[in-house]
Structure 1
Amino acid sequence: MIDPKAMTTLGLLSRANAARRPDAMCHKFEGRATTFAQFDALADKVANALDAQGAKLVAYLGKNSDAAYELLVGTARAGGIFGPINWRLAPEEVAGVINIFGPDVLCVGPEFHAAVEAIRDQLPADLTLVAMEGGHETWPAYETWRDAHPAGYPDDKAGPDDPCLLLFTSGTTGLPKGVMLSGGNLLRQRAAMAEAAMAYDSWEDDDINLVAMPFAHIGGLGLWVISFANCCGAIITREFDPIEAMDLIHNEGVSRLFAVPAALQFIVRHPKAKETDFSGIRSISYGAAPMPLPLLRECLEVIGGKLTQVYGMTETTGSICLLPPEDHDPAGSPRMSSAGKPMPGQEVMILDPEGNEVPLGEIGEIATRGPQCMIGYWKNPEATAKTKTEDGWVKSGDAGYMDADGYVYIHDRIKDMIISGGENVYPAEVESVLYGHPAVSEAAVIGVPDDRWGEAVKAVVTLKEGASLDEAAVIGHCRQHLAAFKCPKTVDVIPAMPRNASGKLLKRDLRAPYWEGRGRQVN
């Protein structure tokens, strides 16, 4: 175990790793391996490059890569803030995020050069653009920008409570919010887990982590931090591909991975799974959506290993509750429908609308407090005050209850958020785009059960007088303005929206037919 003093900032942790295992693999990306000593030196160069420019805010638009983590740690070491942007967003959404953040430097992956060129006039004029993996006529190549500066950096400028990471999450109004996280948020939980010495979370030096979930999500970036905190190697893939994942498990010794249930489904139901040796898998963690019992059985049968469910959100730097392997019963049990128990060092409380704790077994809003809870939302004190109380409790927006043994059960979502394939979709954002269609009079967006994605986005609309509607055209209209995962998969036309006596739209009435016969209103 690394010295606990190093588990406070990413820069200190990187130094400690380089000293402990300098020649061991830190990570591998598309055949390129980097040792812990090499990684630490590259992070130094990034920090020196930022200092030379006087830059503190760094944005990244790209798929997963090894260089993205150099940027993360180098920016933190220089006392700056690193903000990865979800590459699945539409160009105008990307412009919105960049303008909220206001970065000094934007590093752009090769797949997104054209998209950034298209919105260049919407971005700050003094923004420095850097081309990841080279290949741009006017922007400097990342390697050139980085390697123009020496390794060696005098000190880690970031303290454990200073913001070093900004992860953007869509807001209920459609406006993205930047979640500010510190080095302490990222690492103190890992120290608490190590102290608890849970057998399924005890990493060995030969463990290899598969990092395939998106870098701009806490489930992807945070997973890399876990292996980095344990001074273990990680294999990074540009994006999740079930065939590639199985190849790395079979041939490269991958022993640990995190995936959303939809990704695990792609693996276990692929014909290649029958030819893949999964015997080296020691632990699989999953989250971002519940695991249906039939899929759990398939995973245990095909992959084996120890399965751990985690529950959390970006505002809590990932997991706050954990359902351990011993509670995964293929035959089914009441605990299999829970999100598990609070993780070491984390408190969970169920609140009524006035903020008071409710009795055990009663439904309320799930709230949490602990070392992982965010600093707040970037330049948004009003949103911060609504989510985080003065005494540090972060409200989840999820409705649930706690049993006498401390297990937390999720019942519904207070904020109407839809989770499709592990991606958060906020109905208000999609509804705003639907209202821009010339045939649509009113629009409501709901999540409906989907065997592949957990939930699918459905639009329910009423039409303007005399108008007709083509479903494909409406979906195409949404795709012009939104990331594909946010767009409705289906569109229903109804004569009138259900409302209560005061005129409030009753989304629960729209949802009810699709969720009939299910014990909870999330899939």
Structure 2
Amino acid sequence: MIQSPYPDETIPDVSVFDFLFGDLSDADADRVAIVDGTTGATTSFGDLRRGIEAVAGALAARGIGPGDVVALHSPNIPAFATVFHGILRSGATATTVNALSNAEEIETQVRDSGAGFLFTVRALSEQALAAASAVGLASERVVVLDGRAGHPSLTDLIGEGRPAPTIEIDPSTHVAVMPYSSGTTGYPKGVRLSHRNLVANVVQTYPLLDVESTDVVLAVLPFFHIYGMTVLLDIALKKRARLVTMPRFDLAHFLELIQSHACTYLFIAPPIAVALAKHPLVADYDLGSVRAILSGAAPIDAGLMGAVAERVGARVRQGYGMSEASPVTHAGPPERDDLSLGSIGVPVANTEVRLVALETGEDIGVPVEGISAPGELWVRGPQVMLGYLGREEATRETVDEDGWLRTGDIATVGARGEFYIVDRLKELIKYKGYQVAPAELEALLLTHPDIADAAVIGAPDDDGQEIPKAFVVRREGSGIDADTVIGFVGEHVAPYKKVRAVEFIDVVPKSASGKILRKDLRG
């Protein structure tokens, strides 16, 4: 077992609302909490707290409280913070819905979660209303935040001026949020995270994610995903930093917001890192305000991270987590410039880690020198979920009786205690008995100047055997061909790791959190 290098933090036994707003000072109440990156409108910490309490009161007046589930379907806008925390303040459970979900996907999540109330926005309301109709939600139980005829709006709810209810919950067992995750394998499942899970994960990151009240944090990663929910929304609010929201990623707008709002701290996913490292548009903007960048959601090669650091002129680090861990389990220490930029860092406070050998099931320890053998990454700590909703068998397969969360990711550990993600266990390609990690080949492909993006999967050859196949996005104006791609990879890897087939595509399909959607590439 490998423990965090940081001493345990004391985790308050309080609700998320009390943790974030219980100690809000008068001075901080007047400071700007959130800036709408689209309109420039600002929300103070005090107004945010009052809005949250008003939403909680409006929900309570409608019979919503502990034991109820409320769905929130929205991109990153300031109202998301008000509604999300209003749901939690009411004692209900929030299930956040991907803003890109279609009507069928929304219906599935609303039905599975048991949500009896739904918040959405006008731009996404067609699919949300279709889902609501399919599950039998009455029109008054569907709030369209920015207004739509026949439905209450956020202004309506807040305007009622109802006091927040008095609720009594056990933070360690009461489900605060229920995002949906496929876990290590399979169909999306409701991840039951308690108030304590969320509070703990913010506190655990204190030594590693050094957000301060003077920081301006660009909120481009979606709040509906656990990365944005905890790392952006909750950490920034707790630290009294300023959030600048982006409803969707657009590189020019992203760069403009950094420049115009003097953003200092960026939390990103790999596709944004690729753009920062390679896109010519970056040179047209002043990014000198940025002091720190942290990338998560998927591993990035050290070379690419180094290119981001050099081009932006900021400290760069990687982090790691998953929905089932609220999500953060590892992050690169800000003070450790001696660690590889390709590392996900070290375990956060209050976290224990095991590396379990795939063949023998034995623990792999920290090596005296170099890098260890690979093993499945297991973690244990107060951030680990209560379990999946209604999926007891899946819960037992993911979290054992001793509280160890099997991540399904393959990792190694270096002599300095730093961890590296090799790949997901289920995504390994078996080529002639050898294991080939797609992430390794993808990182290599991204170093080629004519390749803008890439993904690798296992695909059948003419004999039905699995081979590494690359999907490549050419850089604009490039005429790179398949033979060149295959030859380039072959120069840098062992023979069994060579790419055996190449397909050129316009864009690599990715989730909102930045993970490559390999199932879409498999067709």
Per the normalisation by structure 2, the TM-score is 0.76
Equivalent residue number for residue 217 of structure 2: 209
User: Is 2:131 the counterpart of 1:131?
Assistant: no
Please report how far the alpha carbon of residue 296 of structure 1 lies from its aligned counterpart in structure 2 after TM superposition.
2.1
1:17 is paired with a residue whose SS is coil
Counterpart AA for 2:145: M
Aligned to 1:108: 120
Q: 2:313 aligns with which of 290, 304, 307?
A: 304
CA change 1:205–1:407 in 2 (3 A) is: closer
Say if 1:337 and 1:346 are closer, same or farther in 2 by CA, change over 3 A: same
One-letter code aligned to 1:370: G
**In structure 2, distance between residues paired with 1:121 and 1:417:** 41
Amino acid in the other structure paired with 1:147: G
Inter-CA distance 121–71: structure 2 relative to 1 (3 Å threshold): closer
Q: Secondary structure at the match of 2:23?
A: helix
Residues 327 and 336, structure 1, Cα contact 8 Å, conserved in 2: no
CA spacing shift, 1:119–1:192, aligned 2, 3 Å: closer
Equivalence for 1:25 = 32
2: CA distance, partners of 1:282 / 1:57: 39
Cα distance change on mapping 1:518 and 1:230 into 2, 3 Å: farther
Q: Does 1:364 align with 2:375?
A: yes
What does the per-residue CA deviation read over 1:9-66, in whole Å, with 9 as the maximum and x for residues that have no partner? 3210223225561101111113221111111111111111111111221111121111
Deviations, residues 192-240 of structure 1 (Å, cap 9, x unaligned) = 443x4x5xx4443221111111122122222221111112221111122
Give the direction of change, closer, same or farther, for the CA distance of 1:149–1:69 in structure 2 (3 Å limit).
same
Which of 338, 346, 360 is residue 343 of structure 2 equivalent to?
Answer: 338
Aligned 8 A contact 1:78 1:156 in 2: no
Aligned identity (percent) is 26
Alignment of 1:146-185 (within 5 A): 146-154=158-166, 157=169, 159-170=171-182, 174-185=186-197
Any idea what the Cα deviations from partners look like across 1:440-490, whole Å, max 9, x if unmatched?
xxxxxx9873647865376957xxxxxxxxxxxxxxxxxxxxxxxxxxxxx
**One-letter code of the match for 1:347?**
E
Q: CA deviation at 1:273?
A: 2.5
Aligned residue type for 2:356: L
Note if contact 1:262-1:453 (Cα within 8 Å) is conserved in structure 2: no
Q: Residues 353 and 380 of structure 2 are in contact (CA less than 8 Å); yes or no, is this contact kept in structure 1?
A: yes
Residue identity in the other structure for 1:129: V
Return the alpha-carbon distance in structure 2 between the equivalents of residues 345 and 356 of structure 1: 23
Aligned length: 444
Name the structure 2 match of 1:16.
23
Residues 307 and 79 (structure 1), Cα distance of their counterparts in 2 relative to 1, 3 Å cut:
same
Gaps of 5+ in 1: 419-445, 462-493, 499-506
Q: Is the 8 A contact 1:7 1:188 kept in 2?
A: no
- How far apart are the structure 2 equivalents of 1:92 and 1:176? 13
Residue type at the aligned position of 1:137: A
Q: Which amino acid aligns with 2:389?
A: W
Kindly state the Cα deviation for residue 497 of structure 1 after the two structures are TM-superposed: 2.3
Letter in 1 for 2:373: E
Residue 84 of structure 1: SS of its match in structure 2? strand
Question: How far apart in 2 are the matches of 1:4 and 1:122?
Answer: 45
1:80 corresponding residue in structure 2: 92
1:372-394 deviations in Å (ceiling 9; x for gaps):
11111122111111101122111
Aligned residue in 2 for 1:497:
464
CA distance in 1, matches of 2:400, 2:386: 11
Q: Is the Cα–Cα contact under 8 Å of residues 316 and 341 in structure 2 kept in the other structure?
A: no
Structure 2 distance, partners of 1:453, 1:130, is 41
Q: CA deviation at 1:310?
A: 0.3
Matches within 5 A, 1:256-267: 256-267=265-276
Whole-angstrom distance in 2 between the partners of 1:268 and 1:189 = 30
Change (3 A) 1:18 1:176: farther
Q: Contact 2:217 / 2:265 at 8 angstroms: preserved in 1?
A: yes
Q: Which amino acid aligns with 2:32?
A: M
SS of aligned partner of 1:48: helix
- Cα gap change, 1:403 to 1:264, in 2 (>3 Å): closer
Are the structure 2 counterparts of residues 209 and 108 from structure 1 closer, same or farther at C-alpha, using a change threshold of 3 Å?
same
CA distance 1:310–1:378, shift in 2 (3 Å):
same
> Match of 1:386?
397
Relative distance call for 1:456 and 1:272 in structure 2 (3 A) is closer
Contact 2:60 2:165 in 1 (8 A): no
CA distance in 2, matches of 1:10, 1:280: 31
Whether the 8 Å CA contact 1:285–1:309 is kept in 2: the answer is yes
- Deviating more after overlay: 183-192 vs 355-364: 355-364
Question: Residues 327, 6 of structure 1: CA spacing in aligned structure 2 closer, same or farther, 3 A cutoff?
Answer: closer
Q: Deviations over 1:394-452 (max 9, x none)?
A: 1100122323432222223212299xxxxxxxxxxxxxxxxxxxxxxxxxxx9873647
Against the structure 1 CA distance between its residues 22 and 117, is the aligned structure 2 distance closer, same or farther, given a 3 Å change threshold?
closer
Q: Distance in 2 between matches of 1:372 and 1:297?
A: 30
Corresponding position of 1:442: none
Aligned partner of 1:95 in structure 2 is 107
Q: C-alpha displacement at 1:147, in angstroms?
A: 2.4
Distance 1:282 1:387, change over 3 A: same
TM-aligned CA distance change 1:311 to 1:192, over 3 Å: closer
Q: Which residue of structure 1 aligns with residue 455 of structure 2?
A: 456
Q: Is the 8 A contact 1:377 1:384 kept in 2?
A: yes
Q: Given that residues 183 and 324 in structure 2 are in contact (C-alpha distance below 8 angstroms), is that contact kept between their aligned partners in structure 1?
A: no
Matched, 1:376 2:387: yes
Q: Which amino acid aligns with 2:464?
A: M
Q: Which amino acid aligns with 1:46?
A: V
Shift of 1:186: 1.9
User: In structure 2, the residue corresponding to 1:349 is in which secondary structure?
Assistant: strand
What are the superposed Cα offsets for residues 64-93 of structure 1, whole Å, 9 maximum, x if unpaired?
A: 111111122111112111111112233322
1:503-518 mapped onto 2 (5 Å cutoff): 507=466, 509=467, 517-518=492-493
Aligned residue for 1:301, secondary structure, equals: helix
- Say which is worse superposed, 262-271 or 338-347, in terms of deviation: 262-271
Partner Cα separation in structure 2 for residue 125 and residue 275 of structure 1 = 48
Preserved CA contact (<8 Å) 2:184 2:408: no
Instruction: Choose 402-411 or 50-59, whichever is displaced more.
Output: 402-411
Q: Which amino acid aligns with 2:16?
A: L
Equivalent residue of 1:106, what SS?
strand
> Which residue does 2:420 correspond to in 1?
409
Give 3-state SS (helix, strand or coil) of 2:75's partner: coil
What displacement does 1:164 show? Answer: 0.5
Q: Which segment drifts farther, 249-258 or 173-182? A: 173-182
Distance 1:496 1:263 in 2: 38
Deviation of residue 367 (structure 1)? 0.3
1:468 match: none
DSSP-derived class of the 1:16 partner: coil
State the TM-score, normalizing by the size of structure 1: 0.76
Aligned counterpart, 1:34: 43
Q: 1:278 to 1:175 in 2, by over 3 A?
A: same
In structure 2, C-alpha distance between the alignment counterparts of 1:70 and 1:28, rounded to whole Å? 13
Which residue among 220, 224, 227 is the counterpart of 1:219?
227
CA contact (8 A) 2:318 2:341 kept: no
Relative to structure 1, the CA distance from residue 289 to residue 35 in structure 2 (aligned partners, 3 Å threshold; closer, same or farther) is same
Secondary structure of 1:42's counterpart equals helix
Structure 2, unmatched stretches of 5+, are 1-8, 367-371, 430-437, 471-484, 499-514, 517-523
